[in-house]
A and B are shown apart, each in its own frame.
Chain A
Amino acid sequence: MATVLFDEATRKYPKTEVPAVDKVTLEIPDGEFLVLVGPSGCGKSTTLRMLAGLEPVDGGRILIDGHDQAGVRPRDRDIAMVFQSYALYPNMTAFENMAFALRNAKVEKAEVEQRVTEAAKILELEGLLTKKPGQMSGGQRQRVAMGRAIVRQPKVFCMDEPLSNLDAKLRVSTRSQIAQLQRRLGVTTVYVTHDQVEAMTMGHRVAVLKDGKLQQSDTPAKLYDEPVNTFVASFIGSPAITMTRSAVREGEVTIHGLPVSLDRSTLSAARGDVVVGFRPEAWQVVGAGEPGIDVAVDLVESLGSEAFVHGEPARSHDDATVAIGADRVTFKVIGKTDLDVGDTVRIAPIAEQAHVFDAESGMRLR
């Protein structure tokens, strides 16, 4: 059990200008499940590998339980890692794979036996202990890799996209298993993923990285409800938030030609234009006579209990709205929908659920 502190931790690969990890400061309390999430190349894996000691720290510090880890070898950090490829030893059986670290640490034979058996029970690996990785399925290998980490009873678990090699169904079930297991063992865990659903469902807290810089670290709910900038707003949430740029005039913004009144105190902080975002559930379908935006439906994703409708807003002549990214709107419909591709539907945003950002800096306005 341990606390982890990244204190302006920086990693700059040789012969590159831009640091891969740029002054990341992040405190992880004892027993927390922290998810590092971000697009590919954002430095999340590098951050994890720095914690594990597999990557040097070029600036700042990383502390485990208050101790600076500079110069401490990976094997002396008491960290167990689960790799994306599992990295099992193919020449050893499942038992030997799990026992390897314990035997290296000169743990007594009886205790090795006991710990591995216990881990095997938790992970339902009992029948597989004598098998080698080559004889196992992907899911089984993944569980052995987990077992190898568990038996060590380390201070910190590091997991580098451990589910990305599993098929979709197995991924969902393993996702909850890992989260449950972590809650049960109470070991501080840093989990890297590019999958924001994993991030939102597994972690106590989620840290969003972009270009090596930490954008925001918060609970999943807070990230969703109060993203600090447009990047976090668009990265978290699926389908993505619909964002439009607009000028501010007397407490009103214009969303695809539709004037929307927003909280004046929020808007007053704006120096110029703002970016306004509405999540899919922040739209409602309105009648033809009411104010709204006419949207030409071009995709309907029906999930049974709900449906996501994607479409393009019909442009009016005086529409000065500039859409961010694709000029599209995505909204959610509860239950079944009879909307179909090619239909036109009138929708209006719910003003209270608007996310407002400064157009220049991209930062949230409060």
Chain B
Amino acid sequence: MSGQAESAIQGQGRVGKVFGYAAMVAVLAVIAVPLFWIVVTSFKAHDHIYVRPAEYLPIPFTPENYSDVTTRIPFFAYFRNSVIITFFTAGIKIVLGVLSAYALSLLRFPGRGILFVVILAALMVPNQITIISNFALVAQLGWKNTFQGIIIPLAGVAFGTFLMRNQFLSLPHEIIEAARMDGAGPFKLLWRVVMPLSWPTLVAFSLITIVNEWNEYLWPFLMSDDERTAPLQVGLTMLQNNDGVTNWGPVMAGTVLTILPVLILFLVLQRQMIKGLTSGAVKS
């Protein structure tokens, strides 16, 4: 290859790299700048928040905002509610998602195709449309301010069914057949063969579900009025509206505390998500 052509290719690579990094910086800024502002503000004293020019560092350093959060609202009650709601909603969603996907992909029964289309159709309907009828139904059942009132209407799983079904269908079918011939029943097949092969997708699905449920705002807000059942996301609103002028320091501190559990979970699970497990199953 001539030196000219080589440098042309290198030049191309360099331009590509520049654009790549520029895009990365842009994405990072969109995510990181608000996050940075939240964290900084959470450590600022009240009279240092509304100032011009803006202060980029929290001086004086005011960790009191954090203790403020826990005293001004029943923070731990909200936190407990969030954990309960997320745990059960995500749990139900994951179990139902995996089981329904398994049935729709690997078990044979009449009407399977039609059922899948119906489930897909459910995915097309925005949440906001069903909210009024759901509210009427749940209120009628007397489930306002109860956990089941929050959890059950949220536990529909069209997305999980769709995602996991496609994952199961992408598995090498010879492995499934081998397991069937080896005498594995439906549950053993799912548990010992299908699930281990689908681990990365399952982790991704679980993570998305948990984050979604943790951040769920509108439905719990409609369903619960106080710390008996309301999750953190609703609790933060209470914090905001307590004074005439919102004191953003404690609100931001509360926000940071709310983000933390999800962030930790994400850091723990992300390696599992990336790890591929299908290697060596069949000759590629």
Binding site for B on A (CB under 8 A): 52-54, 73-75, 79-81, 83-91, 100-101, 104-105, 132-136, 138, 141, 148, 152, 165
Contacts and interface: CB of A to CB of B under 8 A. Distances in A.
B182 A101 contact: yes
Contacts of A86: 282-283
Given A75-B181, A80-B181, A87 B282 contact: yes
B177 A90 contact: no
Contacts of A104: 182-185, 188
Given A83-B174, A89-B175, A134 B282 contact: no
A105 B183 CA distance: 7
Nearest to A98: B182
Contact of A90 (B180, B181, B192, B279): B279
B20 interface: no
Interface residues of B, number: 24
A83 B176 CA distance: 11
Interface of B: 172, 174-175, 177-185, 188, 192-193, 196-197, 277-283
Given A90-B280, A138-B283, A85 B184 contact: no
Contacts of A101: 181-183
A90 B278 contact: yes
A141 B281 CA distance: 9
B172 to A, nearest CB: 7
B179 A89 contact: yes
A90 B184 contact: no
The listed residue with most A CB atoms (<10 A of its CB), out of B183, B188, B277, is: B183
A136 B280 CA distance: 8
Nearest to B199: A91
B279 A83 contact: no
B175 A87 contact: yes
Nearest to A84: B174
A81 B175 CA distance: 11
Contacts of B180: 54, 73-75
A2 to B, nearest CB: 16
A101 B182 CA distance: 4
B197 A83 contact: no
13 contacts: A54-B180, A75-B185, A83-B177, A89-B175, A90-B278, A91-B193, A101-B183, A104-B183, A104-B188, A134-B279, A135-B280, A136-B280, A165-B283
B174 A90 contact: no
B177 A74 contact: yes
Contacts of B175: 87-89
Contact of B182 (A84, A100, A133, A141): A100
Contacts of B178: 81, 83, 87-89, 148
Given A74-B177, A85-B283, A133-B280, A91 B184 contact: no
B183 A52 contact: no
Contacts of A53: 181
The listed residue with most A CB atoms (<10 A of its CB), out of B174, B181, B183, B193, is: B181
Nearest to A75: B183
A88 B181 contact: no
A89 B193 contact: yes
Given A87-B174, A91-B197, A134 B280 contact: yes
B282 to A, nearest CB: 4
B281 A52 contact: no
Contacts of B192: 89, 100
A91 B275 CA distance: 13
Contact of B277 (A84, A90, A136): A90
A105 B279 CA distance: 27
Contacts of B185: 75, 104
A125 B280 CA distance: 17
Contacts of B193: 89, 91
B99 to A, nearest CB: 20
A74 B181 contact: yes
A79 B181 contact: yes
> Shortest 4 CB-CB distances between A and B: which pairs?
A134-B280, A85-B282, A101-B182, A91-B196
Contacts of A133: 280-281
Contacts of A141: 280, 283
Contacts of A80: 181
Given A74-B177, A81-B181, A83-B177, A132 B188 contact: no
A112 to B, nearest CB: 13
Given A134-B279, A135-B280, A141-B283, A87 B177 contact: yes
A89 B283 CA distance: 12
Contact of A54 (B177, B197, B281): B177
A142 to B, nearest CB: 9
B182 A85 contact: no
Contacts of A165: 283
Contacts of A100: 179, 182, 184, 192
A73 B177 CA distance: 11
A122 to B, nearest CB: 19
B278 to A, nearest CB: 6
Nearest to B180: A74
A87 B183 contact: no
A1 to B, nearest CB: 18
Nearest to A89: B193
